[in-house]
Amino acid sequence: MQHYLYNRITVDPKVCSGKPVIRGFRMPVASILDYLGSGMTVAQLIKEFSFLENEDISEALAFSASMLQDSFIPVKHSA
pLDDT value, residue 64: 93
Q: What domain range includes position 35?
A: 9-68
User: Could you read off the pLDDT of 27-64 as tens digits, one per residue?
Assistant: 999 999 999 999 999 999 999 999 999 999 999 999 99
Chain-centre distance of CA 18, in angstroms?
A: 13
Give the C-alpha separation, 65 to 51, whole Å. 23
Cβ atoms of residues 63 and 73 within 8 Å: no
Q: What is the pLDDT of residue 77?
A: 75
CATH number of domain containing 41: 1.10.10.10
Is 30 a member of any domain?
yes
What's the domain count of the chain?
1
DSSP single-letter state for residue 49: S
Q: Would 50 be classed as within a structural domain?
A: yes
* Inside any domain, residue 4: no
In a domain, 61, yes or no: yes
Residues in the chain: 79
